[in-house]
Amino acid sequence: MPFLSLKPITGISPQSAADVADTVQIMLARLRSGREEAARDYARRLDGSDAAIEVPPGALASAHRRLDPALVEAIAYAHANIRAFALAQRASVSEFETELRPGLVAGQRLIPVGCAGAYVPGGRYAHIASALMTVTTARAAGVAQVVAVTPPGRDGPPPAVLHALHVAGADRVLALGGVQGIAAMALGLFGLPEADILVGPGNAYVAEAKRQLFGPVGIDMVAGPTDVMILADATADPALIAADLVAQAEHGPTSPVWLVSDHRPLAESVLRLVPQAVAALPEPNRTAAATAWEALGEVILVDSREEMAQAADRAAPEHLHVMARDPVWWRGRLGAYGSLFLGAETSVAFGDKAAGPNHVLPTGRAARHTGGLSVHKFLKTVTWQRASGPALPDLARATAVISRAEGMEGHARSADLRVPGPCRNRALLS
């Protein structure tokens, strides 16, 4: 079996990454001290915008009037799916209490964060789906306040993004991008509540800002360039595979795309068809996809479906698409991916835009240890306990023994004091 050599997919060189980190550190320091004025200055210099920072509620509510009715309908369809899936996720976890022993009761509570901040990227594309995925999911989790920022562009944020934020349920929206947008939510600038968690994709500067702010503020993940891996056997259609690889590659020149197959004729057909599919795209999509395919595209031949699965588990891709026989086997066997797409009909594009499961997913092999954005990211799973009566002698004895073995006499005496009888009065004196 050929060795699967994963190329670095951070999207920037180590030196560039260090430069980004230094730049973000300086910007955050200035934003902490200069607050709103610093954010306005960055908006003028980096976003080229001198417009009002906050998007008025009326502009959110009326944004649909500037859209094609078909797009309004499509946004409503996607929102309904995303909300239904997020609500089902919320229903899959519950609070409970259990009596571990007579007199020892413990339980679990699920508490939504107080405020979530959603970043909706700008740039080459209007990220309508990101607005829906982030804000809708926070709302389904029960978050009381959801705020969002999105770059202003030359003429303000795209109306479709504003409408999506309105439909999803954002309380307030700032036309502010990049590090200054992230800082506005984290630091509570422009009258926003300080966000308890920051979510949503962005460029390298946005990801680094989230990373540096993490600790007092939660984040969904530190995301890098998007990627896709397709697993395909002899039953797959090479034209569909080529189209799907190109669809992901159009995100940009740092987006890896992989095909893993045990069928050489299929692999060779895909290699012929991808350049044709790239050439058929309009600009600037064509250049972005061509660069990604030439720099980061890989077609990997293996001998069996088990070796295909092993390759996928090593890569831990963000999107894993199976176009092969026996989807039940694949669903049970595969274990490292952001989101799994089963069957030739199940395009990754569906998941990116409208199917329902969240599209904010782990990249850069982070799927080895985490899943994507979900209602669980907005919920604090906390525990409680109550001890009394018959539980006290054994519980206190075990606690004291372990504490003394660890050398923590204060803990041991705190436990001794809970035991009824003469030792309770002597615990602090002995």
The predicted-structure confidence for 119-170, as pLDDT tens digits, reads as follows 999 988 889 999 999 999 999 999 999 999 999 988 899 999 999 999 999 9
Q: How large is the C-alpha radius of gyration of the chain?
A: 26
Listed residue (299, 362, 297) closest to 336, CA to CA:
362
Residue 154 tokens read as: 């030359």
In percent, how much of the chain has pLDDT > 90?
89
Residue 154's pLDDT is 81
Q: How many domains does the chain have?
A: 3
Q: Are residues 277 and 130 in the same domain?
A: no
Q: Are residues 25 and 54 in the same domain?
A: yes
Residue 17's pLDDT is 81
Residue 391 tokens read as: 């539980």
**Quick check: is 5 in a domain?**
no
Q: DSSP states of 33-86 as a string?
A: HHHHHHHHHHIIIII---S-SBPPHHHHHHGGGGS-HHHHHHHHHHHHHHHHHH
**Quick check: is 4 in a domain?**
no
Report whether pLDDT(5) > 50.
no
Query: Which structural domain range is residue 301 located in?
Result: 228-365
Contacts of 326 by beta carbon, 8 Å cutoff, 6+ apart: none
pLDDT confidence of 9, banded at 50, 70, 90? very low
User: Which parts of 353-413 are beta strand (E)?
Assistant: 379-387
Q: Are residues 168 and 265 in the same domain?
A: no
**Residues 238-269: pLDDT tens digits?**
999 999 999 999 998 999 999 999 999 999 99
331 membership: H or E segment, kind and range: helix 327-333
Helix, strand, coil % in the chain, rounded to nearest 5: 50, 15, 35
**Residues 394-408: pLDDT tens digits?**
999 999 999 999 999
Catalytic entry in 64, 319, 321, 359:
319
Which residue's structure tokens are 């009909």? Answer: 345
Report whether pLDDT(14) > 80.
no
3 membership: H or E segment, kind and range: none
Q: Are residues 204 and 304 in the same domain?
A: no
**Quick check: is 2 in a domain?**
no
Write down the mean pLDDT value for the chain.
Answer: 93
**Quick check: is 9 in a domain?**
no
Residue 82 tokens read as: 């995303």
Q: DSSP states of 290-315 as a string?
A: HHHHHHHEEEEE-SSHHHHHHHHHHH
In percent, how much of the chain has pLDDT > 70?
94
**Quick check: is 7 in a domain?**
no
Residue 203 identity (one-letter amino acid): N
pLDDT (mean) for 406-417: 97
Residue 13's pLDDT is 58
Report whether pLDDT(1) > 50.
no
**Residues 255 and 248 sit within 8 Å (Cβ to Cβ):** yes
Q: Are residues 199 and 236 in the same domain?
A: no
**Quick check: is 418 in a domain?**
yes
Contacts of 253 by beta carbon, 8 Å cutoff, 6+ apart: 288, 291, 292, 295
Q: Are residues 351 and 330 in the same domain?
A: yes
Catalytic entry in 79, 318, 321, 359:
318
Residue 8's pLDDT is 41
Residue 155's pLDDT is 84
Residue 135 sits at the vertex; the CA angle it makes with 129 and 140, to the nearest 5 degrees, is: 115
Query: CA-to-CA distance for 166 and 350, rounded, in angstroms?
Result: 22
Helix and strand counts by DSSP (H, E) for the chain: 16, 13
318 is catalytic: yes
pLDDT (mean) for 310-326: 97
Contacts of 352 by beta carbon, 8 Å cutoff, 6+ apart: 129, 359
Report whether pLDDT(338) > 90.
yes
**Quick check: is 6 in a domain?**
no
Report whether pLDDT(10) > 60.
no
Query: CA-to-CA distance for 27 and 76, rounded, in angstroms?
Result: 37
pLDDT (mean) for 335-352: 97
Residue 273's pLDDT is 97
Report whether pLDDT(316) > 80.
yes
Report whether pLDDT(112) > 60.
yes
Report whether pLDDT(328) > 60.
yes
Q: Any idea what DSSP says for residue 250?
A: T
For 358, the 3-state DSSP assignment is coil
Report whether pLDDT(427) > 70.
no
Residue 425's pLDDT is 53
Q: Residue ranges of the alpha helices (H) in 154-200?
A: 159-168, 178-187
Query: CA-to-CA distance for 244 and 238, rounded, in angstroms?
Result: 10
Query: CA-to-CA distance for 110 and 305, rounded, in angstroms?
Result: 41
Query: CA-to-CA distance for 242 and 278, rounded, in angstroms?
Result: 9
Q: Are residues 280 and 154 in the same domain?
A: no
Report whether pLDDT(40) > 60.
yes
**Quick check: is 370 in a domain?**
no
Q: Are residues 170 and 212 in the same domain?
A: yes
pLDDT (mean) for 1-24: 62
Q: How far is CA 352 from CA 17, 348, 349, in A?
A: 27, 6, 5
Report whether pLDDT(318) > 90.
yes
pLDDT (mean) for 399-422: 93
421 vs 64: which has the higher pLDDT: 64
pLDDT (mean) for 348-360: 97
Q: Are residues 235 and 202 in the same domain?
A: no
Residue 400's pLDDT is 97
Q: Are residues 236 and 200 in the same domain?
A: no
Q: Are residues 120 and 22 in the same domain?
A: yes
Q: Are residues 193 and 78 in the same domain?
A: yes
Query: CA-to-CA distance for 144 and 154, rounded, in angstroms?
Result: 32
pLDDT (mean) for 99-128: 95
- What's the CATH code of the domain at 299? 3.40.50.1980
Residue 7's pLDDT is 41
Residue 153's pLDDT is 82
